[in-house]
């Protein structure tokens, strides 16, 4: 009783790129502990397809960023970039 229609009742692992993601009961958020912002940036494969002229570019407020340009040109989904920004913000709050 009191269970939602979409409540996870078992653990399931899904392959995602070169790793795994777990769908487990009781978790409703993402934890970035042990992951740097640089690591996060490198988990977005579509970012790798658009080389930035700046090695240290985090694709936030830097001028002439190829990733931001690719988002504007709809070569990268705006929603993916917005997720990236939200994750970066979450990582800043966690520390």
Q: What is the pLDDT of residues 46-93, one digit of tens each?
A: 998 888 888 888 999 888 899 999 999 999 999 999 999 999 998 888
Q: Does 63 map to a domain?
A: yes
Q: What is the mean pLDDT of residues 28-47?
A: 84
Q: Does 16 map to a domain?
A: no
Number of domains in the chain: 1
Q: Does 90 map to a domain?
A: yes
Q: Does 27 map to a domain?
A: no
Task: Count CA within 13 A, CB hemisphere, residue 74.
Answer: 0
Q: And the tokens for 71?
A: 């988002």
Q: Does 71 map to a domain?
A: yes
CATH code, domain carrying 81: 1.10.40.50
Q: Does 18 map to a domain?
A: no
Q: Do residues 38 and 21 make contact, with C-beta atoms less than 8 angstroms apart?
A: no
In angstroms, rounded to a whole number, what is the distance separating the alpha carbons of residues 26 and 60? Answer: 32
Residue of 43, 23, 24 lying closest to 32 (CA atoms): 43
What domain range includes position 89?
32-94
């Amino acid at each position: 009783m009191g269970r939602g229609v979409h409540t996870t009742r078992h653990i399931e692992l899904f392959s995602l790129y070169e790793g795994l993601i777990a769908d487990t009961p009781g978790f409703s958020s993402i934890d970035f502990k042990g992951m740097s912002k640089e690591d996060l940036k490198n988990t977005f494969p579509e970012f790798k397809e658009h080389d930035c002229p700046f090695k240290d570019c985090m694709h936030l407020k830097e001028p002439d960023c190829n990733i931001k340009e690719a988002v504007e040109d709809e070569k990268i989904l705006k929603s993916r970039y917005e997720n990236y920004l939200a994750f970066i913000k979450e990582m800043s709050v966690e520390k």
